[in-house]
Amino acid sequence: MLNARFAALLPAALAGAGSFPAALTASRVGPEREAVTAAFASALETGQLVGAAAVLLGGLVAAGLLHRADRPVSTQ
Can you give the pLDDT at residue 4?
Answer: 82
Query: Phi/psi of residue 29, each to 5°?
Result: -90, 150
Q: Would you give per-residue pLDDT tens digits along the chain (76 residues)?
A: 788 888 888 877 777 777 888 888 888 778 888 888 898 899 999 999 999 999 999 999 999 998 877 777 677 6
> What distances in angstroms separate CA 31 from CA 21, 46, 47, one per listed residue?
16, 22, 24
Can you give the pLDDT at residue 76?
Answer: 66
Which ranges of 1-76 would DSSP assign to H, the alpha helix? 2-9, 20-26, 30-69
Cβ(7)–Cβ(18) below 8 Å: yes
Can you give the pLDDT at residue 63?
Answer: 92
One-letter identity of residue 6:
F
